[in-house]
Structure 1
């Protein structure tokens, strides 16, 4: 297994579970199950035991590995030099299970849907761009930017709502953008996180070839997961593009007066998506958009930026739901934390976070007290 020479160096000190101030447990799967086995240190010990043939591959071993939502908290708070390879180690261990064909059924079904249908929703490819029919965004030809939407923004109902808000803002601001529509393919970020490295490489190389053939130079992403794939993974495969998350573009458009905002008095708290924040260091652009709205009060949750608590949808869990439901599910914990701020709105910048947190609001019975809105939706309300 790749990185196996590193695994034994972890002695399960437990720093990886915490926030910077050691006041909160910040590993989502540990918070859900309450066992060290489900934290990064526990996984390292299990993987080491598996490598040494002290334990055998089993359904439970696979479930523990796949309960990781790749939030990256362990990498930020581990105190050892191998910290930057923790998620790589977990990915490599999952890749071994993939090669053995010993993966949980929901993971298997996710790979199958991507392989056969091109998306995890098993929807027809010609449905992918239908969200844009009422907006007037053209198919990409020679526009300045490709607006890459991704699976959730193309097929999930809440995701499509978010996509329309973002698309409308970009069009109304006069930005030169185009979409791939039914030619768009999965970015592969969560495929890789789940250990299917061959399928990821195939998706990435196909996308890179397609982008280059169409003359794409600049990309705006809706989804932080796509942003991560395009900025962190594609360059190693020859895909070097200028990539922005849409909140970075909105910040520039507001600064240049391409989007004018009116007073909108509302208390808002912002949830940092892991793949935008911890994985890529984009913390301020979403906040700058919110701060640019006159009258809006931005209230931070106790856990924010590098210490933000994950919604539980990363690492493919949005589709596989290995973590499951319950009061201690990460999304419900996060919604209760947001409620404590006194905010009326949880602002999000990721379609997966949007769906996860909205489901949690309903599960907590808080529909009358707090709502989840995408940053573009909030900007639209302030116009």
Structure 2
């Protein structure tokens, strides 16, 4: 297994599972289960024991390994030089498990759906652009930007609304962009983090070949997960593109005066998406959008930016639900934290976060007290008012 030589270096000091101020736990599965086996340090020891033949692959071990949301909190807090490899170690262990042929059924079903249908929803590619049916969005044909929507934005009801709002904003600003529609393959980020490296390589090479064939040089992503894959993983396969998350584009357009938000009175708080923030290093672009909307009052949750609590959807959990959604799940804790700020709107910058947190609001019985809006949607609403 890759990184096997690093496993023994962890002696479970425990810093990896805390918040920056050490006042609470910030590792999503540990915060839920409170067993050290679910913390990064405990997981490291279990992986080592598994590789050494001291424990066997079991349903329990699979649950522990796949409950990791790959949020990167452990990377922020680990005191050792191998800290940057922590998430990759857990992904490598999943690869080893996949290669061994024994994985959780939801993970198996996810891979099967991607392999057969090209998306985790088991829906035909012909439906991939139906979200844009009522919008003047053109197929990509040499425009300046490819707007890569992704599986969640194409098929999930919540994601489709965000894709529509982002597109309307791009059109208003006069941005030259097109979409791939039914030709758009899955970006593969969750395939990779769930451990199917062979399938990810195939998806990456397929996407890169298509992008090159079409002459794509600049990409705007809806989903931070695609943003991560294109920026960090595709270059290893020869895919060098200029990749921007939509929030970065809108932040620049507002600064240049090409987008002028109208008044929208609301008290809001912002949830940092792990794959835009910790993995992507972008914390300010979504906040720049919110600060630019007259009438919006931004109040931060105590845990924000690199100290944020993951919604629990990362690491493939959005699709497999191995981490679950009970009362101590990270998404439900997060909406309670948002409610404490007095905000009426919890703003996100990721369609997966939007779905996770909306479901948590319903589970917490907070309908009518707190709503979820994507930053692109809030900007769209302000521009309509203007």
TM-score by length of 1: 0.99
Matched residues in 2 for 1:230 and 1:377: separation?
24
Equivalent residue number for residue 15 of structure 1: 15
Equivalent residue number for residue 236 of structure 2: 236
1:23-62 map, 5 Å = 23-62=23-62
Equivalent residue number for residue 148 of structure 2: 148
Equivalent residue number for residue 125 of structure 2: 125
Matched residues in 2 for 1:261 and 1:140: separation?
27
1:352 matched to 2:340? The reply is no
Equivalent residue number for residue 184 of structure 1: 184
How far is 1:136 from its partner?
A: 1.1
Contact 2:166/2:380, CA 8 A, preserved across alignment: no
How far is 1:19 from its partner?
A: 1.3
Matched residues in 1 for 2:117 and 2:335: separation?
33
Tell me the SS of whatever aligns to 1:8.
Answer: helix
How far is 1:23 from its partner?
A: 1.1
| Per-residue CA distance 1:149-207 (angstroms, 9 max, x = gap) | 00000000010001000011101211000000000010000100000000000000000
Equivalent residue number for residue 103 of structure 2: 103
How far is 1:54 from its partner?
A: 1.1
1:167 matched to 2:173? The reply is no
Matched residues in 1 for 2:24 and 2:63: separation?
24
Equivalent residue number for residue 72 of structure 1: 72
Tell me the SS of whatever aligns to 2:85.
Answer: helix
Task: Kindly report the root-mean-square deviation, in angstroms, between the aligned alpha carbons of the 2 structures.
Answer: 0.7
How far is 1:346 from its partner?
A: 0.4
Matched residues in 1 for 2:112 and 2:382: separation?
42
| Per-residue CA distance 1:193-245 (angstroms, 9 max, x = gap) | 00000000000000000000000000000000000000000011100000000
| Per-residue CA distance 1:278-324 (angstroms, 9 max, x = gap) | 00110000000100111211000000000000000000000000011
Matched residues in 2 for 1:314 and 1:174: separation?
33
How far is 1:28 from its partner?
A: 0.4
How far is 1:263 from its partner?
A: 2.1
Equivalent pairs, count: 383
Equivalent residue number for residue 226 of structure 1: 226
Structure 1: gaps spanning 5 or more residues: none
Tell me the SS of whatever aligns to 2:147.
Answer: strand
Equivalent residue number for residue 372 of structure 2: 372
Contact 2:268/2:343, CA 8 A, preserved across alignment: yes
Equivalent residue number for residue 246 of structure 1: 246
Equivalent residue number for residue 114 of structure 1: 114
Tell me the SS of whatever aligns to 1:57.
Answer: coil
Matched residues in 2 for 1:280 and 1:79: separation?
21
Matched residues in 1 for 2:50 and 2:260: separation?
58
| Per-residue CA distance 1:100-144 (angstroms, 9 max, x = gap) | 111000000000000001000000000001111111110001100
Matched residues in 2 for 1:31 and 1:222: separation?
29
Q: Where do 4+ consecutive residues of structure 1 move more than 6 Å?
A: none
How far is 1:267 from its partner?
A: 0.6
| Per-residue CA distance 1:241-300 (angstroms, 9 max, x = gap) | 000000000111111222112222211100000000000110000000100111211000
TM-score by length of 2: 0.98
1:271 matched to 2:286? The reply is no
Equivalent residue number for residue 137 of structure 1: 137
Structure 2: gaps spanning 5 or more residues: none
Tell me the SS of whatever aligns to 2:48.
Answer: helix
Tell me the SS of whatever aligns to 2:9.
Answer: coil
Equivalent residue number for residue 194 of structure 1: 194
Tell me the SS of whatever aligns to 1:346.
Answer: strand
